[in-house]
Amino acid sequence: MPAYRAPLDDIRFVLHDVLGTEQLRALPGYEEVTPDLVDTVLDGMAQVCEEVLFPLNQVGDQVGSTVADGVVTTPPGFKEAYATFCEAGFPGLSCDPAYGGQGLPLTLRAVLDEMVCSTNLSFGMFPGLTYGAYEALHAYGSDELKDAYLAKLVSGEWAGTMCLTEPHAGTDLGIITTKAVPAGDGAYHVTGSKIFITAGEHDLTPNIVHLVLAKLPDAPPGTKGISLLLVPKYLPTEDGRPGTRNGVTCVGVEHKMGIKASPTCQLQFDNAKGWLVGEPHKGLRAMFIMMNGARLNVGMQGLGLSVTSYQNALQYAKDRLQMRALKGAARPDQPADPIIVHPDVRRGLMTMKSFNEGARALAYHVGMEMDVILHHPDPARRQEAEDLVALLTPVVKAFFTDVGFESANIGLQTYGGHGYIREYGMEQYVRDSRIAQIYEGTNGVQAMDLVGRKLPAEMGRLLRRFFQPTHELIERESQGDLKDLAEALGQGFRRLQQGTQLILAKGMRDPNEAGAAASEYLRIFGLVAVGAMWLRMARVAQDKLAAGAGPKEAFYRSKVVTAKFWMTRILPQAHGLMASIAAGGETIMALEPDAF
């Protein structure tokens, strides 16, 4: 049976020592966010995730959510766990206090996301989608809609969904056919088929609030004619209870590779009553509010599952006795040595560890920038943060989920044959993490977002928000005790700069050249971005060691070693990736479809 302990030491290291919780507290609105408060909140999250969510993860996979006659039943224990989750106030952790939210930093929400994804990804989908609905409604909803729905979403009493995809329209939302026809009373009648709707129907809450993309009768064609509508499962009564059943039905639940406890629904809307969120035809803007948050959350899924896979692989590597160390028996008292003595096993563990800790630091860094966007008094600083978050969103989504999947596979591999057996739990992490590379925009779409939108945006301003501080960081560390690390990061960074120039130059002439380079470029970006966080973490750790770290010496030494591992054993992938980009798109575009 797998186990999970929230990596609180590592999390606190990033929050308090590397990023600095005092940065949060300095933001207007977060005055009460003391280090003590942060630690208390972390402890509460850890407890619920370890003791309530994680024990349901395997049963959730084995039983799954099922549908019969349009009614979806979640696995045993999910209802009770959801109640506990809501009682703890987690759905509204970072939500607006005006609607009952706790108003805590988004940085802490990122931590919660990590822990939830580590312990029960399927469970996390329910409040995750609800939060997305909250965000869109909070940003674009009319006062009437906000008053009627927001408090219910913040408390978790009602759940939310995002209804985008149709059978013929996934990435390509411009060709959706769901219609919204004015009902005459300010409301609309929504009709159409949606698929892949996460938590589209379930028994955790008495009502579900669907946010649905649809076309109004006078909609211009393509993405410029998409509207966002709020369609509740039950129309609320005057006093806020679920009233009349609305015309939306679950007609099926997909059989999936993983996240089986999360019901992925086919929904049929038949003249369902709905209300516009935001302006007509401008639904994509509101949708992207949800989508950007969701993309960062999906990145956390890659990280979260990698963390659990790592913890269990590590324990297995310490326990499993097999063969002898290459330089002679490490445990001559035993019939064989624990497999953690073997270099190739260690290589796998270090790969996971260096990704987990580096990606976590980057994710929380992004979280903190999101708090800056919300609360910083200086508009220039807010813009800076907004640029950086926009730039890094596709990187976090795609890089974290690609490497998270690889990492979950390393964890499985560490177990040998036992990794392939259901009861050990490791193969579930692989199956569950696989979806994260696909939904909320496939990782290929993320790469196109990065090179096609984010790179050229504002004459490269977004890019400079990352390049400038990274350059300064490398410069700053290029002389002292971390100069080897800075030099290694610098090499990777130069590859990233070369790739950028190449894409901008070639892509200007031929957009297919940018497209052919996009995925490999995004991966270089992720390698360097995580590398930059490692250099910052190594700096903090070295300073702690220099100051005398006492009982935490091994902890900080481990940080420095792991930073070096990332820089010298993982980051060099950038060399090969850059060589591949430099070869251009000719061989990719050459063949006619029938010549494949």
Backbone angles phi, psi at 474, to 5 degrees: -65, -45
CA gap 300, 111 in Å, rounded:
9
Concatenate the DSSP letters of all residues of 438-466 into one string: TSSS-HHHHHHIIIIIITTGGGGHHHHHH
Q: Is 168 in the site for a copy of itself (CB under 8 A)?
A: yes
Q: Tell me the β-bridge partners of 275.
A: 230
Q: Which is nearer to a copy of itself, 66 or 568 (CB)?
A: 568
**One of 166, 440, 477, 520 is an active-site residue; which one?**
440
Q: Which is nearer to a copy of itself, 16 or 569 (CB)?
A: 569
CB 56 within 8 A of CB 68: no
**Kind and range of the H or E run holding 86:** helix 78-87
Q: Which is nearer to a copy of itself, 19 or 350 (CB)?
A: 350
* Torsion angle in degrees (nearest 10) through CA of 60, 61, 62, 67: 70
CB of 19 to a copy of itself, least distance (A): 23
DSSP letter (8 states) at residue 330 = S
Q: Is 16 in the site for a copy of itself (CB under 8 A)?
A: no
Q: Is 437 in the site for a copy of itself (CB under 8 A)?
A: yes
CA gap 590, 174 in Å, rounded:
28
Q: Is 508 in the site for a copy of itself (CB under 8 A)?
A: no
Q: Which is nearer to a copy of itself, 368 or 577 (CB)?
A: 577
Of the candidates 215, 195, 100, 98, which has an alpha carbon nearest to the alpha carbon of residue 154? Answer: 100
Q: Is 498 in the site for a copy of itself (CB under 8 A)?
A: no
CB of 454 to a copy of itself, least distance (A): 16
The piece of 108-116, 361-369, 464-472, 587-595 that touches a copy of itself (CB under 8 A) is 587-595
Residue pointed to by tokens 């099922």: 66
Half-sphere exposure of 132 (CA within 13 A, CB side): 33
* Position among 5, 318, 331, 381 found at the interface with a copy of itself (CB under 8 A): 318
CB of 596 to a copy of itself, least distance (A): 5
CA gap 451, 518 in Å, rounded:
6
The SS3 of residue 182 is: strand
CB 368 within 8 A of CB 360: no
CB 364 within 8 A of CB 110: yes
CB of 338 to a copy of itself, least distance (A): 7
Rg (CA), the chain: 24
440 is catalytic: yes
CB 515 within 8 A of CB 448: yes
CB of 391 to a copy of itself, least distance (A): 19
Other Cβ atoms within 10 Å of 239 Cβ, number: 6
Q: Is 590 in the site for a copy of itself (CB under 8 A)?
A: yes
Q: Is 122 in the site for a copy of itself (CB under 8 A)?
A: no
* Position among 417, 548, 550, 551 found at the interface with a copy of itself (CB under 8 A): 417
Q: Is 224 in the site for a copy of itself (CB under 8 A)?
A: no
* Position among 12, 79, 282, 431 found at the interface with a copy of itself (CB under 8 A): 431
Q: Is 509 in the site for a copy of itself (CB under 8 A)?
A: no
Q: Is 1 in the site for a copy of itself (CB under 8 A)?
A: no
Q: Which is nearer to a copy of itself, 459 or 554 (CB)?
A: 554
* Position among 23, 442, 497, 498 found at the interface with a copy of itself (CB under 8 A): 442
Q: Please report, as residue ranges, which positions from 350 to 389 form the binding site for a copy of itself (by CB under 8 A).
A: 350, 353
Q: Is 476 exposed, middle or buried (0-12, 13-18, 19+ CB in 10 A)?
A: middle
CB of 31 to a copy of itself, least distance (A): 38
Q: Please report, as residue ranges, which positions from 515 to 574 form the binding site for a copy of itself (by CB under 8 A).
A: 515-516, 518-519, 554-555, 557-558, 561-562, 564-565, 568-570, 572-574
* Position among 228, 230, 340, 361 found at the interface with a copy of itself (CB under 8 A): 340
Q: Is 326 in the site for a copy of itself (CB under 8 A)?
A: yes
Q: Which is nearer to a copy of itself, 345 or 363 (CB)?
A: 345
CB of 322 to a copy of itself, least distance (A): 4
Look up residue 61 and give its two tokens. 């996979």
Residue pointed to by tokens 């009349």: 244
Q: Is 427 in the site for a copy of itself (CB under 8 A)?
A: yes
CB 107 within 8 A of CB 367: yes
Other Cβ atoms within 10 Å of 236 Cβ, number: 17
CB of 306 to a copy of itself, least distance (A): 14
Q: Is 187 in the site for a copy of itself (CB under 8 A)?
A: no
The SS3 of residue 5 is: coil
Q: Which is nearer to a copy of itself, 22 or 344 (CB)?
A: 344
Q: Which is nearer to a copy of itself, 45 or 164 (CB)?
A: 164
Q: What amino acid positions are annotated as catalytic residues? A: 440
